[in-house]
Amino acid sequence: MRTINAGALAVLAGGAAPLIMLVEMLLSSPLRLNTSATTINWNGYDWTGTGPLGNIEEIDDTPAEQKSLRFSISGVPTALLSVALQEAIRNKPCTLYLAVLDPTSHSVVDVLQAWAGTLDQMPITQNGETCTISATAEHAGATFSRPKPLRYTDADQQKLYTGDTSLRFVTSQANHQDTWPAASFFRQ
């Protein structure tokens, strides 16, 4: 359940409530962006504004499936393209937040986590002197729906930790039939 603090409730009830999205990608050097045109400070970090150059796909939350999400930033000079190509983004954490701003000071009043997952791919489209860098992210729930490749068996434990014999009796104990004495035995 998500809770909103009293200050954010007052801003939302006041009519024109400025809302922005914050995107945090925990790469080797964390990337923190927001959808406004200016840099916003929240949680001790500066979140760089992308303005109209940044785009976040619509979040489609359905109970039965966990859909991926796509982020993109356009107008990136091709000179900065090498920085994006050097980063290995696969399985790096990515979080999307919804921030409620104060209408007068544009400071962050409250932030709610809207989506969380891991980065998957980074397709790049080049058009002339600029390019568009996109990043797709997989929902955190998709990790739990994948089959697990290991079981609690001695063979799998030996693959992970050679010499660890802690699970060698699991099969024999699971198949063992215990025979308990009759109740009359205890009455003697």
How far apart CA 153 and CA 160 sit, in angstroms, is 11
Q: Report how far apart, in Å, the C-alpha atoms of 21 and of each of 26, 39, 107, 138, 176 are.
A: 16, 12, 14, 18, 57
Question: What is the number of structural domains in the chain?
Answer: 2
Specify whether 30 is located in the same domain as 105.
Answer: yes
> For residue 84, is it within any domain?
yes
pLDDT value at residue 185: 84
Specify whether 75 is located in the same domain as 45.
Answer: yes
For residue 160, the Cα-to-chain-centroid distance in whole angstroms is: 27
> For residue 58, is it within any domain?
yes
Encode 115-137: b = buried (16+ Cβ within 10 Å), e = exposed: bbbbbbebeeeeeeeebbbbbbb
Residues of the chain with pLDDT under 50: none
Question: Could you count the other beta carbons within 10 Å of the beta carbon of residue 100?
Answer: 22
Rounded CA Rg of the chain: 26
**pLDDT tens-digit readout, 64-101:** 677 788 888 888 777 767 777 888 888 899 999 999 99
Cα angle 71, 73, 79; round to 5: 135
Specify whether 132 is located in the same domain as 159.
Answer: no
> For residue 81, is it within any domain?
yes
Secondary-structure breakdown of the chain: helix, strand, coil percentages, each rounded to the nearest 5: 20, 35, 40
Specify whether 30 is located in the same domain as 47.
Answer: yes
> For residue 188, is it within any domain?
no
How far apart CA 133 and CA 127 sit, in angstroms, is 11
Specify whether 65 is located in the same domain as 132.
Answer: yes
Specify whether 119 is located in the same domain as 45.
Answer: yes
User: Residue 136 sits in which domain range?
Assistant: 9-145
Specify whether 37 is located in the same domain as 77.
Answer: yes
Q: Which two tokens stand for residue 120?
A: 């998957």
Specify whether 86 is located in the same domain as 171.
Answer: no
